[in-house]
Amino acid sequence: MAEPIQFFGGTSSAVTVNPGSGTTSSLIDSDFSGDNARYKVITQNGKQYVSDPTLSGNNQVFIIITGSGKNIKYEVTSDLTKAQASYIKNFPGGLPALKKALLNSGYITKDEYANNSYIGGLIGAISDLTIQSVQGYAYEGKTEFKPMASFLMGQKGTGTTSKAGTFKDTTTDITTIGDAYKEINDYMLDVFGREATQEEKDTFYKDINARELKSGVQTVTVRDATGKITKTQKIGAALTSDERINSLNAVVKTALKGTEAETILSSSKGSKIAQDIAKIQKSAADYGQPISAGQAMKYVLDGFGTPDYVAKQTERLRLNAMTMFGNLKDHINNGGNVKDIADQYAYIKSKKLGIALTDSMADKDVVDAISKTGGLMSTADFSRQMQANPLWRQTEEAHNTAADFANTILKSFGFMG
């Protein structure tokens, strides 16, 4: 007996779609052929089945074929029970003839036939007929679906049908719904600092499956009349790790657009995004462009999802600084930054005026000194400028200078030894 069919992708309510009749039609063509075909044969865990990626949960489907010749009618359904009932009801000669055909074609054994245990074989035949129908139309130029009776006559045990032909099979590793939910949930925790919402889980599951189906490896096999393989060719490539990250990042980027930076930074779980915001803020400050968390978030949005995006946004800030602070262009080009120089002037001002400067780039005197037309203000000139500030007169340095000046005058008049 054929190995029992294996189902994939979780559970879902049964769906019946695209009833049609006749031979080739635009309806059939759009559903079964081309790169954007709705129904495709895929392989998961070594098992083949026909998939409809538009369905959520269990996306395995079956074709119900009735009639013959130009009067063929078909339905595509995810309801296996419905498919079984249809084939039992419509098989020429009824159930006894169907069981005999399943026996002759090797889908059930003699013992199973005698014990009326035919359901497993019927399920295998329905699955194989569905796969063969999709492959035949999409790849082999067949213009009509073969009814179950004709299909079973051509299977093993009859010895009447040539096995020659070109067969194409797409092998694809499909992420299950449970694995997809866990993957995006873990990623959101790491990157965003919170668990994924149900909407985000569903979005990732649908997107990653669509990407996987498009990137399957197709094996084209040519067989002679005896079934011997004469030629094999593999076409396409499996989904890469970068493409998988792109799918995850697409969900994150959508979430970022609707979230305030402060919300991310205040998350008790922390996140990669929060770290990236902080890195960009620090780089901006280093290059003389202090920004808020919200402004840093815009840089994150501009680059998120691309390789080394924080480094690229930092380079963007560095280039800005070379334009904004022309006096420091060579310094920046050689690996320095604006804050290194600004802090030196801030230190001079702090010492001269006896005040604390927590942010050198927020001080007008400092910024003016490093942005001075014609070149940097010398530190000597900057020190003299600070001494002209009224605050300097209140410092110990000013008092000592005044005392020294007075002593010098007194000495000049001979009042001191």
**Over the stretch 185-227, which tens digit does the pLDDT of each residue have?**
998 888 888 889 999 999 999 898 888 777 766 666 666 555 5
Cβ contact 154:160 at 8 Å: yes
CA dihedral 22, 24, 29, 31 (to 10 degrees): 30
Does 272 lie in the same domain as 254?
Answer: no
Mark whether 238 and 276 lie in a shared domain: no
| Alpha-carbon gap, residue 24 to 258, rounded angstroms | 47
**What does the angle CA 78 – CA 33 – CA 46 come to, to the nearest 5 degrees?**
55
Q: Mean pLDDT, the chain, as a whole number?
A: 77
Question: Quick one: 137 and 279 in the same domain?
Answer: no
Q: Is residue 236 part of a domain?
A: yes
- Do residues 49 and 31 both lie within one domain? yes
Higher pLDDT, 220 or 90: 90
Least confident of 4-13, 250-259, 343-352: 4-13
Average pLDDT on 65-69 reads 75
What confidence score (pLDDT) does residue 11 get? 30
| Tally of domains in the chain | 4
Rounded Cα distance between 336 and 398, Å, is 34
Q: Are 238 and 216 in contact (CB under 8 A)?
A: yes
Q: Are 126 and 23 in a shared domain?
A: yes
Asked if pLDDT for residue 318 goes beyond 90, the answer is yes
Residues 236 and 279 in one domain: no
What are φ and ψ of residue 103, in 5° steps?
-70, -50
Of 142, 161, 180, the one marking the end of a domain is 161
Select from 349, 353, 355, 398 the least CA-distant residue to 377: 349
Q: Say yes or no: 77 and 172 in one domain.
A: no
Would residue 386 count as lying in a domain? yes
Mean pLDDT within 310-319: 92
Strand pairing report for 62-66 and 73-77: antiparallel
Same domain, 226 and 193: yes
In a domain, 329, yes or no: no
For residue 333, being part of any structural domain is answered with no
Tell me, yes or no, whether 135 lies in a domain.
Answer: yes
Domain containing 273 equals: 268-324
* 371, pLDDT greater than 80: yes
- The values of phi and psi at residue 354, to 5°, are 65, 35
Buried b (16+ CB within 10 A) or exposed e, 95-107: eeebbebbbbbbb
Domain end among 108, 143, 161 = 161
**Residue 22 and residue 144 in one domain:** yes
Q: Say if residue 308 is in the same domain as residue 361.
A: no
Whether 84 maps to a domain, the answer reads yes
Measured over the CA atoms of residue 239, residue 240, residue 245 and residue 250, the dihedral's sign is: negative
Domain shared by 150 and 188, yes or no: no
How does pLDDT run across 16-50, given as a tens digit for each residue?
444 444 343 444 556 776 666 778 887 776 677 88
- pLDDT tens digits along 144-192: 778 888 888 876 543 334 445 555 555 566 788 888 899 999 988 888 8
pLDDT, mean of residues 304-312: 85
Q: CB under 8 Å to 150, separation ≥6 — which residues?
A: 68
Q: Point out the least confidently predicted range of 73-82, 126-135, 194-203, 259-268.
A: 259-268
For the cut 80, the answer to whether the pLDDT of residue 294 exceeds it is yes
Which of 258, 276, 304 finishes a domain? 258
More confident residue, 76 or 55: 76
Give the least confident one: 124-138, 170-184, 298-312, 366-380. Answer: 170-184
Residue 230 within a domain: yes
Residue 263 lies in a domain: no
CA distances from 355 to 156, 366, 387 (A): 95, 14, 13
Give me the pLDDT at residue 334, please: 92
Residue 368 pLDDT > 90, yes or no? yes
For 292-317, b/e burial (b = at least 16 CB within 10 A) is ebeebbebbeebbeeeebbeebbebb
Give yes or no: residues 182 and 42 share one domain: no
Phi, psi of 119 (to 5 degrees): -60, -45
pLDDT tier at 266, thresholds 50, 70, 90: low
Mean pLDDT (whole number) for 103-117 = 88
Q: Which residues lie closer than 8 Å to 284 by C-beta, 6 or more apart?
A: 290, 291, 295, 296, 317
Which comes out higher in pLDDT, residue 15 or 55?
55
Percent of the chain scoring above 90 in pLDDT: 17
